[in-house]
Amino acid sequence: MPTIADAALDYHTRRKWKPVPMNRRTKKPIGNDWQKRPFNPNQFNGNSQNVGIQFGEVSGGLVDTDLDSKEAIGLAPEFLPATDAVFGRKSKPCSHQFYVSDLYKTEKRAAIQYAQWMKNGHGKLVQGQMIVELRIGGNVNGVIKGAATVVPPSMHETGEMVEWVRNGEPAKVAGDELANAVRKLAVASLLSTHYPGQGSRHDGALVIGGVLARAGWDANDIGHVVMAVARAVGDNDVSDRITAATNAVNLKANGHAIPGFEKLREVWGDEVAETLKHWLKLPGQRDNKSVDLEDRVALAFATQHADHFRYIAESNQWIRWADFYWKEEKTLFAFDESRKLCRGAGDARARTVAAVTTLARSDRRIAAATDQWDGNSKILNTPTKAST
């Protein structure tokens, strides 16, 4: 068994990685500005420390996928590219997988973290268990953001030895491909621990598909995640779950309403809703309160009701087709129809429904003028007159 000092020297000379001395109790690099200091073998003293590797440009673009949860470790083969540099410890084997990528050139962060999030008793969003972390060592205007991981033959703070499972070469993977794989793994790991019970699984797939489609995911990625999760939990209708989830992409593309975060909260629970809201960071959307949602639902309203609703701005009046003729609508039927669509989109608050109704009445398929019906502004088409 080589000493820590021997291993550090080998990592530097043979693999061209930058070793850094690590504290055995905290798993943190020793000293201030450690990421700026060049490698010096005199920093290491036998086995009194651990050895870590600094990621990014200083180690040839090396990155680490740190799989913190057992779900992430179990699902990793489904999403992560194969690599020959894998290690862990007895209780969490294969929890670290090394790759070489160009992420350090594009990322301004030390790491991309996927932790669970939940609101505490005071309504503040707080971080919980880490699920998976992609350690990169990016930089901001040439300033390195340090990221490092304890590597073999170090001793973990639990007393377990850190050991190689495959001590070969890290796979070379394009940065965007690797980041997307880790993102899918994180989402799948989260969903697998909160999977809906029997009777709610079809709706669960619909909702997840809708939320991910809002975040810009394509049908292939949505289907991949839903398939992996459904299989992992032993769902007996994987095909239905994939179809339900991926259909959301087409619905969104055609301007139809798709489920949002409030529906996600209802079906999947608060922790999934808060975590995905934090991870996905949809532009301009806060729990479906955005104009983006209102506009999409208004388009869906116009598509669904273009044949039997009109709005006349001159008289501030909705009219509805009654089998043979148009008649004034005095029962807020249009508002009620908007509410149904808003409920399906995850936000049926009165102000959202009102906004959708207002936007829908300006749609060219809905908006109308009085002279389209009769010369007399007080009379609409009667059963004996032809309708427009």
Query: Measured between alpha carbons, how far is residue 257 from residues 250, 251, 282, 343, 346 in Å?
Result: 11, 7, 16, 10, 9
Q: What pLDDT score was predicted for residue 193? A: 95
Query: DSSP alpha helices (H): ranges in the chain?
Result: 4-15, 70-79, 103-106, 175-192, 201-214, 219-232, 238-253, 261-268, 270-280, 291-305, 333-345, 350-361
293-315 average pLDDT score: 84
pLDDT-wise least confident of 58-67, 117-126, 289-298, 329-338: 289-298
Which pLDDT band, with edges at 50, 70 and 90, does 288 fall under?
A: very low
Exposed/middle/buried for residue 46 (C-beta within 10 Å: 0-12, 13-18, 19+): exposed
304-322 average pLDDT score: 85
Joined together, the tokens standing for residue 256 give: 């139809």
Q: What pLDDT score was predicted for residue 374? A: 55
Kindly tell me if the per-residue pLDDT of 73 is higher than 70. Answer: yes
Kindly tell me if the per-residue pLDDT of 103 is higher than 50. Answer: yes
Joined together, the tokens standing for residue 37 give: 């200091």
Q: What pLDDT score was predicted for residue 92? A: 94
Kindly tell me if the per-residue pLDDT of 274 is higher than 60. Answer: yes
How far is 369 from 372, CA to CA, in rounded Å? 6
How far is 264 from 9, CA to CA, in rounded Å? 51
Q: What pLDDT score was predicted for residue 161? A: 94
How far is 190 from 72, CA to CA, in rounded Å? 9
**Sheet of 309-312, strands arranged across:** 326-328, 317-321, 309-312, 367-368
Q: Are 49 and 24 in contact (CB under 8 A)?
A: yes
Provide the mean pLDDT of the chain: 87
Q: What pLDDT score was predicted for residue 155? A: 92
Element (H, E) at 85: strand 85-89
Count Cα neighbours of 163 within 13 Å in the Cβ-side half-sphere. Answer: 10
Share of the chain above pLDDT 90, in %: 53
Kindly tell me if the per-residue pLDDT of 219 is higher than 90. Answer: yes
Exposed/middle/buried for residue 140 (C-beta within 10 Å: 0-12, 13-18, 19+): exposed
Q: What is the per-residue pLDDT across 23-59, written as a single tens digit (0 to 9) for each? A: 887 788 998 889 999 999 999 987 779 999 999 999 9
Share of the chain above pLDDT 70, in %: 93
Q: What is the per-residue pLDDT across 163-196, written as a single tens digit (0 to 9) for each? A: 999 999 999 999 999 999 999 999 999 999 999 9
Four-residue CA torsion sign, 192, 194, 199, 205: negative
Joined together, the tokens standing for residue 126 give: 């707080």
93-100 average pLDDT score: 97
Exposed/middle/buried for residue 79 (C-beta within 10 Å: 0-12, 13-18, 19+): buried
Q: What is the per-residue pLDDT across 231-273, written as a single tens digit (0 to 9) for each? A: 999 999 999 999 999 998 888 887 777 888 888 999 999 999 9
301-329 average pLDDT score: 84
Q: Domain-by-domain residue ranges, the chain? A: 4-172, 194-268, 291-372
Q: What pLDDT score was predicted for residue 373? A: 61
**377: Cα separation from own chain's centroid:** 53
How far is 304 from 292, CA to CA, in rounded Å? 19
Q: What's the DSSP call for residue 302?
A: H
Q: What pLDDT score was predicted for residue 96? A: 97
User: What are the counts of helices (DSSP H) followed by strands (DSSP E) for the chain?
Assistant: 12, 16
Count Cα neighbours of 264 within 13 Å in the Cβ-side half-sphere. Answer: 23
pLDDT-wise least confident of 8-12, 140-144, 237-241, 285-289: 285-289
Q: Taking the model in full, what pTM does it have?
A: 0.72
Nearest CA to 8 out of 35, 37, 34, 47 is that of 47
Q: What pLDDT score was predicted for residue 385? A: 45
- Provide the angle, in degrees to the nearest 10, between the axes of the packed helices 201-214 and 270-280: 20
Q: What pLDDT score was predicted for residue 328? A: 86
Joined together, the tokens standing for residue 160 give: 């377990």
- Please give the single-letter amino acid code of residue 169: E
Kindly tell me if the per-residue pLDDT of 354 is higher than 60. Answer: yes
For residue 222, how many other CB atoms are within 10 A of its CB?
26
Joined together, the tokens standing for residue 186 give: 């994180």
Which pLDDT band, with edges at 50, 70 and 90, does 386 fall under?
A: very low
Q: What pLDDT score was predicted for residue 104? A: 92
Kindly tell me if the per-residue pLDDT of 22 is higher than 50. Answer: yes
> 3-class SS at 93?
strand
Task: Cis check for the bond before 383: say yes or no (omega within 30 of 0).
Answer: no
Q: What is the per-residue pLDDT across 105-133, written as a single tens digit (0 to 9) for each? A: 999 899 999 999 887 777 777 888 999 99
Q: What pLDDT score was predicted for residue 388? A: 46
Which pLDDT band, with edges at 50, 70 and 90, does 381 fall under?
A: low
Q: Specify the length of the chain in residues.
A: 388
Name the most confidently modeled range: 65-74, 109-118, 300-309. Answer: 65-74
Q: Which residues contact 36 (CB under 8 A, 6 or more apart)?
A: 144
